[in-house]
Structure 1
Amino acid sequence: MNARILAGALLKMVFGPSAKRRYRVPLTAHQQWMVSLDAVLAERMWGHSHLMLYPLKRINSTNCRVSLQQSWDITSPESLHSTLHWLASEGHRRQMASVIGHPPVAWDFGRYVTVTRLAFGAGYIDEAGAWQLLANAVAPVAQTYSSWQAFAHDFVTARELWMRNAGNEWSGSHEGTVQAVHRLLDPTNTSSPWQQIPWETIYHSDHMPA
């Protein structure tokens, strides 16, 4: 990214249109639960949003596209769907299962939700398509875990294992992930989506939060 594009992206992160104003329709409880599967990585992203489909507080398609390209080599709807198919059908969980003792579903599907939200922000998929994709994450995750704590534990364990082969560019980043999880699980943190949307929400009938 050249300096001019970078400067523009940074300005949008601070002064861009409000995502909350553009997407005024509130999410249902189930929708908020689905986007909260992305909470660990979202918590680490500057200008992130929780409990919204759009991943940032400010509209910034450039930032979303750059994140997808740099982290996932996603540059089009075609490469997006290829990556999401891999995460949903295989991911890293198969090869990690022999080390951890079970497949860390949270690691693959937490990232699956991250990629889907960023793809919506980048304009690679529309809102209806995003929700259709996110719905694919519900059954694998809800049937594997019984709490945000269990989900987070598997996510962190798998990420630490992945870090061993990730290269020096990720050096030192794991501590930030651990701290993000601690903030999300802190019962006194009223801004945490995990404190606002209980894990059990997904097992009950959908509704509009009060």
Structure 2
Amino acid sequence: MVSLDAVLAERMWGHSHLMLYPLKRINPTNCQVSLQQSWDISSSQSLHATLQWLASEGHRMQMAAAIGHPPVAWDFGRYVTVIRLGFGAGYIDEVTAWQLLASAVVPVAQSYASWEAFAHDFVSGRELWMRNAGRDWAGSQEDSVQAVHRLLDPTNTSSPWQRVPWDTIYRSDHIPPQGR
């Protein structure tokens, strides 16, 4: 589940694709600043509101006409990033983070049959977003395309998309202890 944001995580120095928090050390201040600047998230409530919007509507509905279908990957890739940063910021606990990640599985699994298909839609959604809202955003579309090529490269043994077959999306990455 955490590998759904691999295109974005791949662009971060020192990232991990396989842990809940994408960096080795949690820096709550950096996570809070990132969420505030990128998403206008400054609390648990605004985090949940943003996640609800990404899960129910996001940008995909506005993009559907231009792409020919709603690019679910674009919204759910970012959904996972927001969860990971929200956990790092202290806005949600680990159990909640895993529960929220698990809720992304059904819409993503119903929309795609492979990492390749997921990646294609993510890149398509990002390209359309960059042409409109994201013009002033850091990073280029080419950075994302290169990240996808690295992730899909069958010789890249560090790629989570090579290490974790697509069909494992139907199984939880982590089962949190009950009663915590």
TM-score normalised by length of structure 1: 0.79
- Misfit runs of 4+, over 4 Å: 204-208
Q: Give the CA RMSD over aligned residues.
A: 1.8
Once residues 107 and 86 of structure 1 are traced to their aligned partners in structure 2, the CA distance between those partners, rounded to angstroms, is 13
Listed as ranges, the gaps of 5+ residues in structure 2 are 176-180
Residue of structure 2 in register with 1:140 after alignment:
107
Question: C-alpha deviations, 1:85-142, integer Å up to 9, x for none?
Answer: 0000100111111111101000001100000011001111000000111111000000
Residue of structure 2 in register with 1:19 after alignment:
none
Residue of structure 1 in register with 2:29 after alignment:
62
Question: C-alpha deviations, 1:42-92, integer Å up to 9, x for none?
Answer: 011122211000121222112211111111011100110110000001001
Residue of structure 2 in register with 1:185 after alignment:
152
Once residues 95 and 109 of structure 1 are traced to their aligned partners in structure 2, the CA distance between those partners, rounded to angstroms, is 15
Say which one has the larger Rg: 1
Residue of structure 2 in register with 1:131 after alignment:
98
Once residues 205 and 163 of structure 1 are traced to their aligned partners in structure 2, the CA distance between those partners, rounded to angstroms, is 32
Aligned length: 175
CA shift, 1:202, in A, is: 2.6
Once residues 64 and 204 of structure 1 are traced to their aligned partners in structure 2, the CA distance between those partners, rounded to angstroms, is 28
Work out whether residues 41 and 47 of structure 2, in 8 Å CA contact, stay in contact via their aligned partners in 1. yes
2:77 aligned with 1:110: yes
Deviates more, 1:42-51 or 1:156-165: 42-51
**The residue matched to 1:143 in structure 2 has which SS?**
helix
Once residues 46 and 40 of structure 1 are traced to their aligned partners in structure 2, the CA distance between those partners, rounded to angstroms, is 13
Question: C-alpha deviations, 1:149-187, integer Å up to 9, x for none?
Answer: 000000000100001112542376111111111110011
Work out whether residues 93 and 104 of structure 1, in 8 Å CA contact, stay in contact via their aligned partners in 2. yes
Residue of structure 2 in register with 1:45 after alignment:
12
Listed as ranges, the gaps of 5+ residues in structure 1 are 1-33
Once residues 34 and 64 of structure 2 are traced to their aligned partners in structure 1, the CA distance between those partners, rounded to angstroms, is 28
Once residues 197 and 122 of structure 1 are traced to their aligned partners in structure 2, the CA distance between those partners, rounded to angstroms, is 27
Aligned counterpart for 2:87 among listed residues 117, 120, 126: 120
Residue of structure 1 in register with 2:178 after alignment:
none
Once residues 164 and 198 of structure 1 are traced to their aligned partners in structure 2, the CA distance between those partners, rounded to angstroms, is 32
Work out whether residues 151 and 162 of structure 2, in 8 Å CA contact, stay in contact via their aligned partners in 1. yes
Work out whether residues 183 and 189 of structure 1, in 8 Å CA contact, stay in contact via their aligned partners in 2. yes
Once residues 103 and 32 of structure 2 are traced to their aligned partners in structure 1, the CA distance between those partners, rounded to angstroms, is 22
